[in-house]
């Protein structure tokens, strides 16, 4: 199901407002976030700003190609940095700021790629059901209001939490921690709100196209077993460079000239790469299991290949879990 006209209108309106606010903030004269005690979160703000820009631009549906999205964002960052040299703004071109913007854009693009369709007919039918629930939920103005409120509350709650956690470090940076807390809190809270709205849409809607989502749910134990290998492997990959990185930065002095919040951005890029790999790999394994759910029960594993079907649907004789036949 495609996005409704109302949903597209909202995404495009949000993008335009966001882009205007971004350009105003980028070109404000003599803007300086540094304080006497702590360096400002300038690089972290660039990362978050362009990551959000990339996401909103993708959701407008004006851009359908990830490659084109990357080219546009690369050029956008370059344009913003070059125009900061306009006389009177008292701003300067910063390669570090540009790199931070590119990292933010790349993080969003990696998660877009990690979220692309996987699996065969049954898992893709489930994805279509989730997409339909997503679009139907966002076709209602009340859900948009709920997302805005939940995102704001999440940001308000998580900002002080991250600042407090930062205070336990030997070299705290409350400004940077607060910015990251705002982004994490807003993202988690609005995401949870969106999932709740989608679930309500699936449960309350009489639409038969949601039947594939109601036909059988994977047990938590099997879900955890499917993501166990990707998570462990990705954690190992994540841990491998930690020791040499600490040695290089702490003892050898590599990256000593790089701003501290820029090093955090590099960490986030690496974490984003591994997380995207883990997400895509886990989704592939889960999709493969759902694609076999018409042969062995998704709940108990019982052989259901010879179960009699009615209108393309059947029920496991062992545990009673319903299932659908591919193509039905």
pLDDT, tens only, 6-20: 999 999 999 999 999
pLDDT at 245: 64
Contact 85, 93 (CB under 8 A): yes
Query: 19-34: per-residue pLDDT in tens?
Result: 999 998 888 876 666 5
Q: Identify which of 12, 220, 16, 8 has the alpha carbon closest to the alpha carbon of residue 134.
A: 8
Q: Taking the chain, what is the end-to-end CA distance rounded to the nearest angstrom? A: 18
Distance CA 70, CA 58 (A): 10
- pLDDT class of 291 with cuts at 50, 70, 90: confident
Mean pLDDT comparison of 47-61, 84-98, 218-232, 305-319, highest-scoring range: 47-61
Beta bridge partners of 310: 313
pLDDT at 6: 92
Classify 137 as helix, strand or coil. helix
Distance CA 268, CA 218 (A): 32
DSSP calls for 260-288: HHHHHHHHHHHHHHHHHHHHHHHHHHHHH
Contact 16, 53 (CB under 8 A): no
Domain spans of the chain? 218-291, 298-328
| Mean pLDDT in residue range 178-183 | 87
| Mean pLDDT in residue range 111-130 | 88
| Mean pLDDT in residue range 115-138 | 88
Distance CA 129, CA 152 (A): 28
pLDDT at 251: 52
């Amino acid at each position: 199901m495609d996005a409704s006209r109302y949903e597209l209108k909202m995404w495009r309106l949000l993008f335009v407002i966001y882009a205007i606010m971004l350009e105003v903030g980028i070109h404000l004269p003599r803007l300086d976030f540094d304080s006497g005690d702590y360096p400002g979160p300038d690089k972290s703000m660039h990362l978050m700003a362009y990551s959000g820009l990339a996401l909103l631009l993708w959701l407008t549906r004006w851009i359908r190609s990830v490659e084109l999205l990357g080219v546009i964002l690369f050029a956008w960052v370059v344009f913003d940095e070059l125009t900061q040299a306009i006389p009177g703004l008292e701003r300067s071109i910063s390669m570090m700021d540009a790199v931070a913007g590119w990292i933010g854009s790349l993080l969003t693009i990696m998660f877009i790629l990690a979220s692309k369709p996987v699996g065969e007919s049954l898992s893709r039918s489930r994805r279509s059901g989730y997409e339909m629930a997503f679009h139907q939920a966002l076709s209602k103005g009340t859900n948009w209001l709920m997302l805005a409120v939940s995102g704001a509350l999440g940001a308000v709650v998580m900002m002080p939490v991250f600042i407090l956690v930062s205070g336990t470090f030997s070299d705290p940076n409350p400004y940077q921690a607060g910015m990251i807390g705002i982004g994490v809190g807003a993202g988690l809270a609005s995401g949870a709100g969106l999932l709740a709205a989608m679930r309500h849409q699936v449960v309350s809607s009489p639409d038969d196209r949601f039947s594939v989502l109601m036909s059988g749910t994977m047990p938590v134990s099997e879900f955890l077993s499917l993501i166990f290998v990707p998570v462990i492997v990705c954690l190992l990959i994540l841990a491998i460079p930690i020791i040499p990185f600490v040695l290089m930065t702490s003892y050898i002095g590599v990256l000593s000239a790089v701003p501290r919040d820029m090093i955090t951005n590099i960490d986030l890029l690496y974490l984003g790469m591994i997380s995207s790999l883990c997400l895509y790999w886990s989704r592939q394994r889960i999709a493969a299991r759902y694609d076999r759910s018409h042969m062995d029960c998704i709940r108990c594993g019982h052989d259901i290949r010879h179960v009699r079907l009615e209108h393309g649907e059947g029920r496991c004789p062992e545990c009673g879990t319903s299932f659908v036949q591919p193509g039905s």
